[in-house]
Structure 1
Amino acid sequence: MMQLKWEKEGYIVSDDKTLLQMGKIEAWISGAYWAAGRSREIIEKSIQHSLCFGMYDKDGRQIGFARVITDQAVFSWIMDVIIDQEFRGKGLGKKLVECIISHPDIVHTKMGLATKDAHGLYRQFDFEMDECMRRPLL
């Protein structure tokens, strides 16, 4: 797997899992509408089995996170995209998605995601509404 590192305007995006700050990720994810109450154990397991992206400020403080479930050949599912509340409204979510969709391990895969409130963000990257079926957690 190739490692990605993007730097611009004092922010860094990396897929290096050793840089991830689990306390922050747990707080963001477990409080998000799509994963409310998800335990740290489940968050850590999901990270272990995903391609992950951390976004950091110039001081190394993690300010964003996303992960991708992928076979790296046919399909990738983007999940848990989040920017710290303090840093929202600066276009950082857009920069994070740019890094995800251009990552060399998944750039040629078909990509999907689910969102209730960020359709405008993903439409900028040619994501379209499509029929999707799902099986709920049993």
Structure 2
Amino acid sequence: MPAGYELTDDQSRIDVEATHAYLARSYWAKGIPLETVRRALANSLCVAVRHADAQVGFARVITDYATFAWLADVHVLEDHRGRGLSKVMVTALQDHPLLQGLRRWGLHTLDAQDLYAQLGWRLQANPGRMMERVFTDLYPVPA
């Protein structure tokens, strides 16, 4: 961890409003309501990176703690990128004691395949087996 940064998985130290502020402008959750973020974080295993008493990075796992985990919402504020903070968060989640022995992990990413490959991830071997239900325009963005 770079000097001046701190990683936490203490739910009471996760800044829901900071997480919402980033997600609401992200390409994958644009316009997401604050209450939806609150519910998502309350039902996930979360980590955050803090710097100067502010949250500058976040990642979470949705899991049954037995067989499967879904990595989601990994982000680092623009001014703090290039310091390996995403790798620190994802590694912390992958190594978390509650997430050991899982059979499968999953994630979707538009452009971070190279980052995840460095952490042991690979493209899905059988993409034709993956199915989804997608609801576009679920979060209306105010004009």
Whether these two folds match at TM > 0.5 is yes
1:69 — aligned with what? Answer: 62
1:105 to 2:94 alignment: no
Could you say what secondary structure the match of 1:82 adopts?
A: strand
Please state how far the C-alpha of 1:25 moved relative to its aligned partner.
0.8
Query: For this pair of structures, how many residues does the alignment match?
Result: 131
Aligned Cα RMSD in Å?
A: 1.5
Q: Which has the higher contact order (CA 8 A, sep 6+)?
A: 2
Gap regions ≥5 residues in structure 2: 137-143
Please state how far the C-alpha of 1:11 moved relative to its aligned partner.
1.8
Asked whether the 8 Å contact 2:2–2:83 carries over to 1, the reply is no
Please state how far the C-alpha of 1:8 moved relative to its aligned partner.
5.4
Asked whether the 8 Å contact 2:20–2:34 carries over to 1, the reply is yes
2:139 — aligned with what? Answer: none
Which of 122, 132, 135 matches 1:134? Answer: 132
1:83 to 2:44 alignment: no
1:26 to 2:20 alignment: yes
- TM-score, with structure 2 as normaliser: 0.85
In structure 2, distance between residues paired with 1:106 and 1:54: 17
Which residue identity lines up with residue 135 of structure 2 in the other structure? L
Which structure is larger by alpha-carbon Rg, 1 or 2? 2
- TM-score, with structure 1 as normaliser: 0.88
Asked whether the 8 Å contact 2:24–2:30 carries over to 1, the reply is yes
Residues 74-101 of structure 1: CA deviation (Å, up to 9, x unaligned): 0000000010111011111111111111
Identity %: 34
In structure 1, distance between residues paired with 2:2 and 2:97: 19
